[in-house]
């Protein structure tokens, strides 16, 4: 809930004019405006839902064909023409064989459906219980394309949910799979909202948005919006800046950094993670020591993902492997190209620039993190997206509630692009994966087995990446790890652990 500071409806009227307007006159103006808005808002809303914005390549032959349709031209940008089009006109576009890109989401703020849950201690951000209810609501509202699974439980017994979105969602089809993960780190509340809103957007726009429908039909999208529910609850109830999970380390300290607990290059050095339990980047006693990171590991053994995004905050950057070293990954060029495409799509929405680059080069070294693991073990493009704000003086791990939708809207095209990239670059996997638990409904949560599936694609990139360096551990007993070595940082960002 945002506090409205200026409650004066005439606050922006120059003083002289305010003096001229009598109090009665002011009241009439306000009343008239309110009455007019009662008529205008529904009209606008109706119009909004019946029209879409598309872009078409600026091409003489295409434009000639378009002119016959008598459409509303909106603008021209980057050699593309933007057009307002009614839903009835889409068949005509298809008849004339005119290729287009849906751009609506880049122009209108995404209108969020009414949340099924209300209240809550942390305003518009989700708590664990709110998220649980909202995920079930998505599944219940769109049972043909959304299916909720429990992929594990946290240390304190909370469920870790994954929402699968696809056509024929209860069957495993030979379609490429993409995973979006949120909230490894408890204090990064925005990292819960973006993957959740992505899920909501996909299911709610499936029937009306051709692009969404194509992506959902041709892929299997897995969304794990909250990997660290215990930490999130602690952050909500006790200390807003809590980062790790809630492991009792037995010596008075708590928590393991889940994003240092994956087994690829786990504990490679004490810069990218720490062996000390009190550290914010404590990597845990062993790889995958934590049930939360094991949930992702186990999901990967059962699925065949083509790409991964792990949402974090803050600093507005897109990071790709390697994080444990500043040496480039074997597929550095491709990873960079995809990151570049995603960054450009984010910037196209409202001009917000997300820098991008190799993690080990951009912010600081990290070992045992999600993206090094998913790229290093499964060979798939893997990205850490550090969401806004830009730096700690702009809010750090805080985001205002009114920014949630804006941040989602700017990230949406990048997410859709990555899904599309996975579809375009998929290849069959070697073996059909086993089945996993699925929850058919809110009550009971009876686990059922989904049918097995045929062998599917394997990405051209999907080759286990050879370790470029032998795993090496230093004697931690002689070093005190307080901070990590800051690496090159773009745009003057502070080297704070995200």
Catalytic residues: 386
Helix or strand holding residue 191 (H, E): helix 190-205
Cβ 408 to another protein shortest distance, Å = 17
Strand partners, 461: none
Strand partners, 492: none
> Rounded to whole angstroms, how far apart are CA atoms 309 and 422?
12
Sheet hosting strand 101-102, strand order edge to edge = 72-77, 80-86, 51-57, 101-102
Positive/negative CA dihedral, 323, 324, 327, 333: negative
Total residue count of the chain as it appears in this document: 498
- SS3 of 72, please? strand
> Rounded to whole angstroms, how far apart are CA atoms 316 and 7?
33
One symbol per residue from 130 to 159: x for binding another protein (CB under 8 A), - otherwise; what is it?
x-----------------------------
Contact with another protein (CB under 8 A) among 100, 201, 254, 276: 254
237 forms part of the interface with another protein (CB under 8 A): yes
Give the range of 22-30, 247-255, 423-431, 442-450 binding another protein by CB under 8 A: 247-255
Cβ 1 to another protein shortest distance, Å = 5
Cβ 239 to another protein shortest distance, Å = 5
Cβ 425 to another protein shortest distance, Å = 39
Cα–chain-centroid distance for residue 412?
8
Give the range of 17-25, 116-124, 137-145, 433-441 binding another protein by CB under 8 A: 116-124
120 forms part of the interface with another protein (CB under 8 A): yes
Q: How many CA atoms lie within 13 A of 174 on its CB side?
A: 12
Using N-to-C axis directions, what is the helix angle for 128-141 and 190-205, rounded to 10°? 10
Cβ 246 to another protein shortest distance, Å = 7
Contact with another protein (CB under 8 A) among 90, 107, 110, 398: 398
> Rounded to whole angstroms, how far apart are CA atoms 434 and 301?
8
Q: Return the number of the residue (201 or 254) whose C-beta is nearest another protein.
A: 254
- Looking only at the bridges linking them, the beta strands covering 355-358 and 437-438 are unpaired
Contact with another protein (CB under 8 A) among 119, 430, 451, 492: 119
Contact with another protein (CB under 8 A) among 252, 451, 466, 492: 252
Contact with another protein (CB under 8 A) among 52, 104, 106, 127: 127
- SS3 of 325, please? coil
> Rounded to whole angstroms, how far apart are CA atoms 291 and 304?
21
Q: Return the number of the residue (399 or 409) whose C-beta is nearest another protein.
A: 399
Contact with another protein (CB under 8 A) among 15, 38, 43, 393: 393
> Rounded to whole angstroms, how far apart are CA atoms 476 and 484?
14
Cβ 4 to another protein shortest distance, Å = 11
123 forms part of the interface with another protein (CB under 8 A): yes
Structure tokens at 143: 């049972």
129 forms part of the interface with another protein (CB under 8 A): yes
Residues lying near another protein in the complex (CB under 8 A): 1-3, 117-125, 127-130, 234, 237-242, 244, 246, 252-255, 392-396, 398-401
């Amino acid at each position: 809930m945002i506090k409205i500071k200026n409650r004066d409806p005439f606050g922006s009227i120059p003083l002289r004019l305010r003096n001229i307007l009598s109090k009665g006159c002011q009241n009439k103006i306000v009343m008239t405006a309110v009455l007019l808005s009662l008529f205008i808002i529904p009209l606008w809303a109706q119009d909004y839902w019946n029209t879409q914005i598309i872009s078409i390549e600026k091409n003489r032959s295409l434009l000639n064909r378009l002119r016959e349709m008598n459409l509303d031209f909106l603008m021209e940008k980057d050699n593309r023409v933007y057009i307002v089009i009614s839903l009835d006109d889409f068949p005509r576009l298809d008849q004339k064989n005119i290729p287009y890109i849906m751009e609506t989401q880049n122009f209108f703020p995404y209108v969020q459906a009414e949340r099924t849950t209300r209240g809550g201690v942390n305003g518009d951000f989700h708590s664990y219980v709110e998220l649980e209810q909202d995920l079930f609501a998505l599944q219940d509202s769109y049972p043909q394309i959304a299916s909720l699974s429990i992929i594990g439980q946290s240390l304190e017994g909370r469920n870790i949910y994954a929402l699968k979105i696809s056509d024929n969602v209860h069957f495993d089809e030979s379609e490429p799979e993409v995973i979006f993960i949120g909230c490894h780190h408890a204090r990064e509340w925005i990292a819960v909202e973006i993957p959740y809103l992505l899920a909501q957007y996909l299911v709610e726009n499936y029937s009306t948005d051709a692009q969404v429908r194509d992506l959902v039909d041709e892929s299997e999208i897995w969304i794990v919006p909250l990997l660290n529910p215990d930490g999130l609850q602690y952050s909500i109830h006790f200390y807003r800046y809590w980062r790790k999970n809630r492991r009792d380390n037995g010596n008075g300290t708590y928590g393991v950094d889940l994003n240092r607990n994956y087994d690829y290059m786990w504990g490679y050095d004490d810069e990218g993670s720490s062996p000390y339990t009190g550290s914010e980047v404590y990597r845990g006693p062993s790889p995958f020591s934590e049930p939360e990171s094991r949930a992702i590991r186990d999901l990967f053994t059962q699925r065949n993902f083509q790409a991964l995004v792990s949402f974090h905050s803050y600093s507005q950057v897109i990071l790709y492997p390697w994080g444990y070293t500043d040496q480039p990954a074997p597929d550095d060029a491709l990873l960079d190209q995809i990151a570049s495409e995603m960054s450009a799509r984010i910037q196209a929405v409202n001009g917000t620039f997300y820098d991008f680059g190799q993690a080990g080069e951009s912010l600081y070294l990290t070992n045992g993190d999600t993206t090094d693991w998913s790229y290093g073990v499964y060979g798939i493009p893997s990205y850490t997206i550090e969401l806004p704000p830009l730096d700690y003086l702009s809010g750090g791990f805080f985001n205002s509630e009114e920014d949630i939708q804006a941040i989602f809207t700017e990230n949406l095209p990048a997410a859709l692009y990555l899904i599309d990239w996975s579809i375009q670059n998929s290849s069959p996997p070697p073996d059909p994966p086993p089945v996993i638990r699925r929850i058919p409904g809110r009550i009971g949560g009876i686990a059922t087995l989904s049918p097995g599936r045929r062998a599917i694609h394997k990405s051209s990139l999907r080759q286990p990446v050879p370790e470029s360096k032998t795993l090496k551990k230093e004697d931690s007993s002689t070093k005190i790890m307080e901070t990590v070595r800051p690496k090159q940082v773009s745009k003057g960002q502070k080297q704070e652990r995200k």
